[in-house]
Amino acid sequence: MAAIITFAQRKGGAGKTTLAAHLAAGWALAGRRVAAVDVDPQGSLARWGELRGGLAGAAPLPVAKVSGWRLALELERLRREAELVVVDSPPHAELDARAAIRAADLVVIPVQPSPMDLWATQATLEMARAERRRALLVLNRIAPRTRLAQEIAATLGAGDVRLAATTLGNRTAFASCLAYGSSVEEDEPGGAAAGEVLHLRAEIEDMLRDGAGRGA
Ligand SMILES: Nc1ncnc2c1ncn2[C@@H]1O[C@H](COP(=O)(O)OP(=O)(O)OP(=O)(O)O)[C@@H](O)[C@H]1O
Ligand SMILES: [Mg+2]
């Protein structure tokens, strides 16, 4: 049975689409059968997927654009077809974001290191809690030696929430290769950005294995 991983965060621009694209591409590159779903009407992940379709040598990765009443059905269909389903959810469309969280085995929540971003994260964590989903906070665009441990610990609160050991730096590589359908692990293997994505993938895989062990 496949796992559905939903990238969610009510705060706009936190890195949902960026993380979803790089992780999905990384898993595809590693030979996993991955499907991606773009729930956001902005359609950025789907646009990346289209560019990727024309990119010679890119690891295969279908990206579907789905929203509204078809979403839950489509996610269950993909769960039967793929090993990993990566879902990019919109910042504001409450109903679709909630449906994407409800279907998820794990909700990954990118957070940028600012008080506003941390505060906004509460709303997303509430959604994950209300749907009894496990959540993983990932610090994104973080400067070296950022000290946020206390603020983040306060944000985590109750529920099944973890803070990822992997953090992602503020790196132009994350943005630049998306512009032509690629990803950091494909473009700059061995680079710092690729290393971060690889670690985060391993961390998420561990969490999914744990969850399966617990019958989640
Ligand atoms: N680690 C990073 N380093 C550098 N730039 C980044 C990083 N993460 C995200 N960005 C940039 O930040 C901007 C917002 O990222 P992204 O679109 O992934 O956020 P989002 O949460 O999907 O936004 P939205 O809520 O609008 O869907 C983009 O321009 C992206 O290239
Ligand atoms: Mg987005």
Q: Which amino acid is located at 76 in the chain?
A: E
What integer pLDDT is reported at residue 66 of this predicted model? 97
Nearest to 138 by CA among 84, 174, 103, 172: 174
- Whether 14 is in the pocket of ligand 1, judged by its Cβ within 6 Å, is yes
What integer pLDDT is reported at residue 86 of this predicted model? 98
- Whether 168 is in the pocket of ligand 1, judged by its Cβ within 6 Å, is yes
CA–CA dist 135, 127 (Å, integer)? 10
Using DSSP, state whether 151 is helix, strand or coil.
Answer: helix
- Whether 141 is in the pocket of ligand 1, judged by its Cβ within 6 Å, is yes
- Whether 112 is in the pocket of ligand 1, judged by its Cβ within 6 Å, is no
Can you give the residue range of the structural domain that contains 195?
3-213
Cβ count near 56 (within 10 Å): 4
Segment 95-107, tens digit of pLDDT: 999 999 999 999 9
Contact by Cβ (8 Å): 36, 86: yes
Report the number of distinct structural domains present in the chain.
Answer: 1
CATH number at residue 46: 3.40.50.300
**Angle ∠(168,172,174) on CA atoms, nearest 5:** 55
CA–CA dist 196, 34 (Å, integer)? 19
Segment 27-39, tens digit of pLDDT: 999 999 999 999 9
Nearest to 208 by CA among 108, 114, 139: 108
Cα 77–chain centre separation:
20
The strand pairing partners of 59, in sequence order, are none
User: pLDDT tier at 158 (50, 70, 90 boundaries)?
Assistant: low
Which ligand places an atom closest to the C-alpha of 19?
A: 1
pTM: 0.95
Report how many helices (DSSP H) and strands (DSSP E) the chain contains, helices first.
Answer: 9, 7
Please identify, by atom number, the ligand 1 atom nearest to the C-alpha of residue 20.
Answer: 18
